[in-house]
Amino acid sequence: MILTDPLSIGQLTLLGRVMLAPMAGVTAWPTRLLCREMGCAFAVTEMVSVKSILYSPDMPAVLDLLERGDEEGPLALQLFGAEPSDFSGAIALLNDRGRLAAFDAVDINMGCPAQKITRSGAGSALLLDLPRAARIVAATVRAVESTHPAMPVTVKTRLGWGAGDRSAVRLARMAWDEGAAAVTVHGRTRDQQYSGDADLEGVAAVKAAVSIPVIGNGDVASRADAERMIRETHCDGVMIGRSAIGNPWVFSRVLHSEAVEPTAAERLAMALRHARIQCAWRGGQRGMVELRGQLGWYMKGLPGAATWRASVYGLGCVGALEAFIKTIGTNTNTSTNAGGMNDGRRKEQADYIGGRTSQAGE
Active site residues: 112
Burial (Cβ within 10 Å: 0-12, 13-18, ≥19) of residue 49: buried
Closest CA to 155 of 217, 97, 219: 217
C-alpha Rg value of the chain to the nearest Å: 19
The residues, ordered by sequence, that sit 6+ positions from 138 with a Cβ below 8 Å of its Cβ are 84, 178, 179
117 three-class SS = helix
Who contacts 159 (Cβ-Cβ below 8 Å, separation ≥6)? Answer: 165, 166, 167, 168, 185, 186, 187, 188, 189, 199, 202, 203, 206
Query: What is d(CA 189, CA 195) in angstroms, rounded to the nearest whole number?
Result: 10
Q: What is the dihedral of CA 174, 166, 227, 108, to 10 degrees?
A: 40
Question: Reduced to 3 states, what is the DSSP secondary structure of residue 230?
Answer: helix
Q: Hey, what amino acid is at 317?
A: C
Helix (H) / strand (E) containing 44:
strand 42-44
In sequence order, the β-bridge partners of residue 261 are none
